[in-house]
Structure 1
Amino acid sequence: MTKKIYDLIGVGIGPFNLGIAALLDDVPEVEAIFFDQEESFNWHPGMLIEQTDLQVPFLADLVTFAKPTSRYSFLNFVHEKNRLYQFYFYRRFDIPRREYNLYTKWVVEQLPNCHFKSEVMNVTKCSEGYEVKVKNTVTNETHVYFTKHIVVGTGSVPFLPENVVQNEHIIHTSDYLQAAEDIKNARSVLVVGSGQSAAEVFYELLENQKHFQYSLTWLTRSPQISQLEMAKLGQEVFSPDYVSYFQSLSYSKRKDAIDRMDTVRNGVDKETLINIYNLLYNRSVEGKERNITIQPLTEITGINETDGKLEVHCLQWEKEMEFSIEVDKVVLATGYKPNIPQWIWDKKEELEWESPREFKVDEKFRLIQKGKKDHHIYISTNLEHSHGTAATNLSLAVMRNQAIINDVAGKEVYPIPKNTIFQQFVPGD
């Protein structure tokens, strides 16, 4: 019996690999299949707070930058849902985060090659390319698939401070909505972090504080709570042209550039900060702000739990002052770290590395394997050091998917545009 050999197998189905699946639906010469261990697609369900928006315009959907006429575009989604006129009168480029989640679910429903409840247990080399073992998480049955290439889209997992373990009283923002009712019924709540997620959770708790009895504290080790830089020329670093320039730099220069771009990559939307300040000001008119504390320059050094109460150890690092506070609940908006499958670490000796934890990745998003290889492992996680702004940005994810699809197909299916911005980054560009 002849083995079925796929051109591409996707490990993980988040927005990145889902975008590849959607674009490949119009490329019949590339046969692909995608697996994810989750029960169904759900994009950051813990942070689908009402009135929160994507930090990128709706044009950064799964397909538009590669194929604006695709039936999987966001505009076609609102058209199919009879919401196009409502969206037209909404007159905004940024869309609710909950609507983006519904859009991606809608795309998944139309792609029969996306399989959930399917955990990729191992990937090994074989003569055809790679052998992929997949376990059905419901039946525990294991099936074997063969493919010429692999694309890893396993995303990220919550990052927790050292020596801090998540439990019913210490919640990462990835689980916030599921725990929100319990949090609001506490007597005291601490939010930790300085980015958009921290601000959104703080604002949601601030709004609801009038219905409950909790005190509310916001601590961050950042020197200030900063607004995301949205200047139009500054935003041009989120372009294929800048990514190409970034890749041309040495490893050390790339690491320096990442630090310099912090103002355009991290921070809080202007509207969120205005909403927080306006609510604080209105509370202050009647002297109702005294159960609220906001303090930057403060690092969490440890959390001890005794009889359901949390003792949070802190350091005001600029004054070198140690102190502790006692709270019922802690919400950690401490970000995420790359989720790299164990089978990649098992291949460590076969790969080239830029640092002990950062593998080398070429311009086509391929892990660089030692020796000449005809079968590739493409990757969309742990790319900050190699691709900078293209590491996690949703709009540049489409550019990454174009590059991967073109390489798998062996031809330019989706041309990647050049000279797309008004700036240049070297003389004569």
Structure 2
Amino acid sequence: MMNFTHYDDTIPLDLAGLGSGPFNLSLAALLESLPELQVRFFDKKPSFGWHPGLMLPGAHMQTSCLKDLVTAVQPTSRWSFLSFLVEKERFYSFLSTEKMVISRTEFVEYMSWVAENLESLQFGSEIREVSFEKDSFILHTENEKVKAHNLCLGTGKVPYVPDCARAMVGQHCFHASELMTRQPELRNRKVAIIGGGQTGAEVFLNCLREKWGKADQIQWISRRASFEPLDESPFTNEYFTPDYVSRFLSLPEEKKETIVQYQKLASDGITPAYLLEIYRELYDRTYLYQDQINWKLLPDRTLKAMSESSGGFYDLKLTNALSAEDEILSADIVILCTGFQNVLPPYLEPIQPRLNLDEYHRFKLSSSFAVDWEGPDNRRIYAVNAGLHSHGIAEPQLSLTAWRSATIINDLAQREIFSVNQPVSLIDW
């Protein structure tokens, strides 16, 4: 943890960041070039970490390494991925790999390097609650109270667990976000993997390769009609541009949900190369090695109910959309690759009555990611990774991280610090 000798605690912060995940880390990195602003980012973790339970062998990013924390708006920043490569003396070796999409391990190493060198980050400081008194927000930690004129909420999403599985969560039924920290014993067990996205694919292949012991059976279940690829074609990638976001923002609210749903595979499919790797693995095991692991691929199934049998098994009731019939399968271990969801952080409870939420209890966000709330116009609450419903499919992804941070900084400073008006798309939306 850095020393904060430069911080004057008698003066309210211009911006307090809650959480130091990738999105707020990007904001902190860009704000370093504005020393006239007093900023601090608080995180309860002892050091930087990004979903450590999902750091599976072979896991890769789904976006270019140039879509890092800063490059899109400040390519000369010392906090770019290229600067990281140079400082770590691996620039030329990296070029020889001829890759633009890097492993998740290397991207976390890059972000940790940034976090370790930014003085505005304060780890080991959990914000218990946020109140508003007179003209300032008051952040309450275990040991101090901090005043701030503006906030940026970046404490992230929480694992989503289907309703029918909540009562089962425990030692043998758990969310995939805990997988690498749990290191479960799967030897001679029947395993059910719920979820057909990238995480489900990574868990399935690692189970198949006996990462946690040789399972007796591996069942991969997905609601999708098949195990579907990420759509990363050039014109689909235009969804992940500032121009498209500006067009999306102007749409009627009732249209946005429909559009986000049909664009789902632009952000939530499985990397095509990874699908090919799985298929080749299954081919070799089936025709060449006669592998003894019993595996089942079960797409087009929706988990409807789950119960624990007297023998210690979990009974899963599935509905097969293709046959319109119900199916029952059993498992010793259930791994939920069911994604994450937004919830209002508990620390906002004191000011929650001031927040103007929509009918689904979500933030109403301005084009500059400011939350609609009952407070002074010159006091803002920004939120990152909370605007899928308002800003579109790119919002939860890393693709526009630097652009969003620059947009927030410009709004905070009330002047253009960074150029965010990128050239219009090749597509006339």
Normalised TM-score (structure 1)? 0.93
Partners of 2:424 and 2:32 in 1: CA distance: 26
Counterpart contact for 1:66–1:399, Cα < 8 Å = yes
**Alignment deviations for residues 35-60 of structure 1 (CA, whole Å, 9 cap, x no partner):** 11122211111111222210001011
- Per the alignment, residue 415 of structure 1 pairs with 419
Counterpart contact for 1:148–1:376, Cα < 8 Å = yes
Q: Does 1:279 align with 2:281?
A: yes
- Per the alignment, residue 359 of structure 2 pairs with 355
Distance 1:234 1:110, change over 3 A: same
Q: Does 1:27 align with 2:34?
A: yes
**Alignment deviations for residues 147-182 of structure 1 (CA, whole Å, 9 cap, x no partner):** 1100000111110010323211012110112233x3
* Paired residue type of 2:399: S
Q: Does 1:53 align with 2:60?
A: yes
Alpha-carbon offset, residue 231 of structure 1 = 1.0
* Paired residue type of 2:270: V
Distance 1:294 1:29, change over 3 A: same
- Per the alignment, residue 139 of structure 1 pairs with none
Partners of 1:186 and 1:330 in 2: CA distance: 14
Moved more, 147-156 or 183-192: 183-192
Partners of 1:310 and 1:78 in 2: CA distance: 47
* Paired residue type of 1:364: S
Partners of 2:204 and 2:110 in 1: CA distance: 27
1:385 to 382, 385, 389: 389
- What SS does the aligned partner of 1:322 have? strand
Q: Does 1:292 align with 2:299?
A: no
* Paired residue type of 2:177: S
- What SS does the aligned partner of 1:163 have? helix
**Alignment deviations for residues 361-394 of structure 1 (CA, whole Å, 9 cap, x no partner):** 1011001124652100000132111111232111
* Paired residue type of 1:204: N
- Per the alignment, residue 143 of structure 1 pairs with 144
**Alignment deviations for residues 308-359 of structure 1 (CA, whole Å, 9 cap, x no partner):** 4222222223433223222111111100001421243553442333323222
Partners of 1:183 and 1:417 in 2: CA distance: 51
Q: CA RMSD in A?
A: 2.0
2:214 to 205, 212, 215: 212
Counterpart contact for 2:185–2:212, Cα < 8 Å = no
Q: Which has the higher strand share?
A: 1
**Alignment deviations for residues 256-287 of structure 1 (CA, whole Å, 9 cap, x no partner):** 21112112122101011000110111111144
2:261 to 259, 262, 268: 259
Counterpart contact for 1:186–1:329, Cα < 8 Å = no
Counterpart contact for 1:75–1:84, Cα < 8 Å = yes
Alpha-carbon offset, residue 400 of structure 1 = 1.2
For structure 2, which runs of at least 5 residues remain unmatched after alignment? 1-7
* Length, aligned pairs only: 418
* Paired residue type of 2:405: N
Moved more, 81-90 or 163-172: 163-172
* Paired residue type of 1:389: I
Q: Does 1:234 align with 2:236?
A: yes
- What SS does the aligned partner of 1:325 have? strand
**Alignment deviations for residues 63-85 of structure 1 (CA, whole Å, 9 cap, x no partner):** 11111111111111111111111
- Per the alignment, residue 109 of structure 2 pairs with 102
- What SS does the aligned partner of 2:76 have? coil
Distance 1:401 1:210, change over 3 A: closer
Counterpart contact for 1:154–1:381, Cα < 8 Å = no
- What SS does the aligned partner of 1:130 have? strand
Alpha-carbon offset, residue 186 of structure 1 = 4.1
For structure 1, which runs of at least 5 residues remain unmatched after alignment? 136-141
* Aligned 1:115-130 pairs, distance under 5 A: 115-130=122-137
Counterpart contact for 2:23–2:401, Cα < 8 Å = yes
* Paired residue type of 1:252: E
Partners of 1:39 and 1:163 in 2: CA distance: 34
Counterpart contact for 2:187–2:212, Cα < 8 Å = no
- Per the alignment, residue 138 of structure 1 pairs with none
Partners of 2:185 and 2:402 in 1: CA distance: 37
- Per the alignment, residue 301 of structure 1 pairs with 304
Partners of 1:369 and 1:230 in 2: CA distance: 37
Partners of 1:144 and 1:292 in 2: CA distance: 54
Counterpart contact for 2:27–2:405, Cα < 8 Å = yes
Partners of 2:179 and 2:40 in 1: CA distance: 32
Counterpart contact for 1:123–1:343, Cα < 8 Å = yes
**Alignment deviations for residues 179-234 of structure 1 (CA, whole Å, 9 cap, x no partner):** 33x34324211111010000011111112289624211111121221111111011
Counterpart contact for 2:190–2:333, Cα < 8 Å = yes
Alpha-carbon offset, residue 307 of structure 1 = 4.8
- What SS does the aligned partner of 1:302 have? strand
- Per the alignment, residue 331 of structure 1 pairs with 335
**Alignment deviations for residues 108-161 of structure 1 (CA, whole Å, 9 cap, x no partner):** 1101221112111111112332111112xxxxxx20111110000011111001
Counterpart contact for 2:81–2:110, Cα < 8 Å = yes
Q: Does 1:317 align with 2:318?
A: no
* Paired residue type of 1:187: R
Distance 1:362 1:209, change over 3 A: closer
Distance 1:33 1:342, change over 3 A: same
